[in-house]
Amino acid sequence: MKSKESFPFFTPSPLGNGYFGDFGGRYSPEILIPALDELEESYRKFQNDKGFQEELHHLWREYAGRPSLLTKAPRLSEAWGAEIWLKREDLNHTGSHKINNALGQALLARRMNKKHLIAETGAGQHGVATATAAAHLGFSCSIYMGEEDIRRQELNCFRIKLLGATLCPVSSGTATLKDATNEAMRAWAASSKDTHYVIGSVIGPHPFPSIVRNFQSIIGVESKRQFLEKTGTFPDAVLACVGGGSNAAGIFYAFLNEQKKTRLIGIEAGGESDIQGRNAASISFGKIGYFHGTRSLYIQDSFGQIEKVHSISAGLDYPGVGPEHAHWASTGVAEYYRVSDQNALECFQEVSRLEGIIPALESSHSFSFAKELAQDYRKTHKRKGRFLICLSGRGDKDSAEVQRILRDG
């Protein structure tokens, strides 16, 4: 392992015009346009600013604990007949990849002279990450969270309050992530003069999807280098779960030029069944639409209304996907599959038992698909597959809910 100093950190990438092929753009109410313009202008300026980069590198390294480890999972590899490698985003401060983006945006907000941060959250990990960044950098903070997710993620709600943020329960709609995002956007529209909205995934109007992907791309930059150092080669496939798609976009981005060697595989929430309303697999079942300010794939009814969705994991329980993933799916740059609640739940337990790592329910979806893929490589390619899984977060937050499900069914 190289010293921390020798690791690359934030690499500025062009913001572009906000479109990824046919997807993306900025379809927002008039009232938000000045705030989005201000954000775009500031990001373009500060991402190339040496002082900004150094401060972000310092926070990621000294506060969040980057670079995160990349390690082989020996017992899973043996049990599944594959080489399983893990990018350990679960070891970051606050327990998931969400801190990478929260620190980046909070630092940007400080450069923009904002005093207050708001964020939406589903699993609570982005809420915790934003509340943490706010506490560390001296912002006041409000976190919007659906009441259903508050029930499922009690521990993270306590952490958010402990960190000094205000938790704003949202009871509209299905009281999950999409409703929390609606409320956070509404609150931002009314307060953008002194408030920055730290969006938690690669969703929303331009420039958010590009900004979040750029901050999360550190996952892929580190992974590619670590994997090469440890194995002298590339993985056959990189796997990541897809809610809005930020951990997947972050790890995929560095491998986009390695298409011939490495498959990029996103795993959506297959939920309880393929019936509309019982899953959250927006690439598998979504149609093109406009929601939360961007053109992408959404699960909708025949009138184009956003449908309710379901996943065992609050972080994947979103009816759409980031526009860059919609583009990658439509052009074949990445492949997307789905894993059911039941299979994710089984892997949550199997990975804990076999590896001594309790994965987040979100990440458990990626493990489950890797297990299937291992069989496929042995059968079809007559060899062991070599897979890199983005372990996006740790499962402590899910333990009480899983305990309840295992007890009550």
Q: Which of 40, 42, 68, 98 is catalytic?
A: 98
Q: Does 130 bind ligand PLP (CB under 6 A)?
A: no
Q: Does 389 bind ligand PLP (CB under 6 A)?
A: no
Q: Is 4 a catalytic residue?
A: no
CB of residue 193 vs ligand PLP: minimum separation in angstroms? 28
Distance CA 213, CA 319 (A): 19
Question: How long, in residues, is the chain?
Answer: 409
Q: Is 258 a catalytic residue?
A: no
Q: Does 385 bind ligand PLP (CB under 6 A)?
A: no
Distance CA 189, CA 183 (A): 10
Binding mask 312-331 for ligand PLP (x = CB under 6 A): ---xx---------------
Q: Is 40 a catalytic residue?
A: no
**Do residues 90 and 391 lie in contact, with contact meaning Cβ atoms separated by under 8 Å?**
yes
Distance CA 226, CA 247 (A): 17
Q: Where are the beta strands (DSSP E) in 48-139?
A: 70-72, 83-88, 116-121
Q: How many CA atoms lie within 13 A of 132 on its CB side?
A: 26
**Do residues 387 and 373 lie in contact, with contact meaning Cβ atoms separated by under 8 Å?**
yes
Structure-token pair, residue 57: 């590198």
Which of positions 150-209 make contact with ligand PLP (CB under 6 A)? 201
Q: Where are the beta strands (DSSP E) in 22-165?
A: 23-24, 70-72, 83-88, 116-121, 140-146
Among 244, 286, 293, 385, binds ligand PLP (CB under 6 A): 244
Q: Which is nearer to ligand PLP, 139 or 252 (CB)?
A: 252
Which of positions 258-317 make contact with ligand PLP (CB under 6 A)? 315-316
Q: Which of 87, 392, 397, 401 is catalytic?
A: 392
Which of positions 84-113 make contact with ligand PLP (CB under 6 A)? 96
CB of residue 201 vs ligand PLP: minimum separation in angstroms? 3
Owner of token pair 């006041």: 140
DSSP 407: H
Catalytic annotation, residues? 98, 120, 392
Instruction: Point out which residues bind ligand PLP (CB under 6 A).
Output: 96, 122-123, 125-126, 201, 241-247, 315-316, 360, 362-363, 392-393
